[in-house]
Amino acid sequence: MMNKIRKMRLAILALVMGGSLSLPLKAAGKDMSVAGTYKLSRWNIQPADYSGITALGNGLYAVVSDKKNEILFWKIHQDASTGKVLQVEEVRHLSLRGEQKKPALDLEAVTWWPERQTLSVASERTQTVRTYNDEGDAMALLWSFEGEAASGQIHANYGFESLTYDAVHSCFWTCTENRLRAHGAPVGIKLPEQALLPVYCLKDDGTHELVACYQTDKPQAFGTARIYAFGVSEMLALPDYGLLVMEREFFVSKNYLRSWVHHKIYCVGLEELWQADGKVVQKQLLCEFRTRLNPLVYRLANYEGMCPGIRLKDGRQTLLLLSDAQGGAGNRLYHLKDFLRVQLLPSSDNK
């Protein structure tokens, strides 16, 4: 009995001190642990609305914001043994040419296209994906969506939030954050049920195809929210692991206290996805964690960006998760902070 009480106390203490909960990858019997969570302000990275991040190689990363038509380039240094972040440095600021005097494109995701040495970004406002070169010039290739996935057919702020490049199948993967209008009202507090989301393959000839459906979990929140969001906030294709999908539920209470963001990272087999033929794909939970704002914990973070970090000396792959602090939104008592979280994937069976 005493051992049970002690374990419960340790669990509660871990929640209070860290503000997060990580669960093991039960199917493989391995642990997906955390190497650290870091405030970007410690390296003088300015508050922003960071919404997407992608790895370019050699410690260089491209980052986008959902409030500005630009791409930032960061150098991120990690410890090769632990994965801990040692330094983050902004090295370049790239404006998208021809877009600076236009309304914000609401850039929600960015991914590197190594074969063409270009960056592709997803615009939630226009429901398009466009490719840019390293000078900020838009390339001719543009993926636009008509019919049920057109910009007018998306529930407000629930369009394309994710984008990742799959080198094995030479395509980009994306899906809407929440349910399409054609499929009913968005899933959330008022409609706590699972949602089927369309998963699209964007081909290198500018065409796209509805390949599969991804089924979310049920929302957990209830009551009245000041701010609320639910759905898929990012995808990441990793050849040794599959398609990682981050589901995120963001709940801000009426008085701000006891607000939280719950994150889950699932894995979908890339071959199963490729051959799904419009069917629902199976998913496996890798981990889940919750960030909080309450009288004891001030670490509320809404993670929207996800990309691979370095591979450690022992073979484990690190993930970098980037939060959207909405430009440091808050009041005189508390402001949201920009966080970079390092998640450690279990060793891949393919390595």
Answer yes or no: is pLDDT of 239 > 70.
yes
What is the DSSP code (8-state) at residue 207?
A: -
* Residue 350 covered by a domain: no
Read off the pLDDT of residues 198-228 as tens digits, 9 standing for 90 and up.
999 999 999 999 999 999 999 999 999 999 9
Number of structural domains the chain divides into? 1
* Residue 349 covered by a domain: no
Work out the average pLDDT over 80-102.
92
CA distances from 87 to 53, 58, 65, 78, 310 (A): 16, 14, 21, 7, 14
Q: How confident is the model at residue 101 (pLDDT cuts 50, 70, 90)?
A: confident
Read off the pLDDT of residues 26-75 as tens digits, 9 standing for 90 and up.
333 344 689 999 999 999 998 889 999 999 999 999 999 999 999 999 99
* Residue 224 covered by a domain: yes
pTM score of the predicted model: 0.89
- Quickly count: other Cβ atoms within 10 Å of residue 29's Cβ: 8
Q: Say what the pLDDT of residue 327 is.
A: 66
Work out the average pLDDT over 338-344.
96
Torsion of CA 179, 184, 188, 189, to 10 degrees: 180
Q: Say what the pLDDT of residue 291 is.
A: 95
Q: How confident is the model at residue 8 (pLDDT cuts 50, 70, 90)?
A: very low
Q: Say what the pLDDT of residue 329 is.
A: 64
Q: How far is CA 312 from the centre of its chain?
A: 22
For residue 40, the enclosing domain spans 2-344
**Residue 313 and residue 52 in contact, taking contact as beta carbons nearer than 8 Å:** no
**Residue 289 and residue 306 in contact, taking contact as beta carbons nearer than 8 Å:** no
Q: Say what the pLDDT of residue 20 is.
A: 35
Radius of gyration of the chain (CA): 19
CA distances from 192 to 7, 155, 188 (A): 32, 16, 5
* Residue 132 covered by a domain: yes
More confident residue, 271 or 295: 271
* Residue 164 covered by a domain: yes
Read off the CATH number of the domain in which 89 is found. 2.115.10
Q: Say what the pLDDT of residue 331 is.
A: 59
Read off the pLDDT of residues 122-159 as tens digits, 9 standing for 90 and up.
999 999 999 999 999 999 999 999 888 888 899 999 99
CA distances from 188 to 127, 227, 325 (A): 22, 12, 21
Give the SS3 label for residue 312: coil
The encoded tokens of residue 284 equal 């496996």
* Residue 351 covered by a domain: no
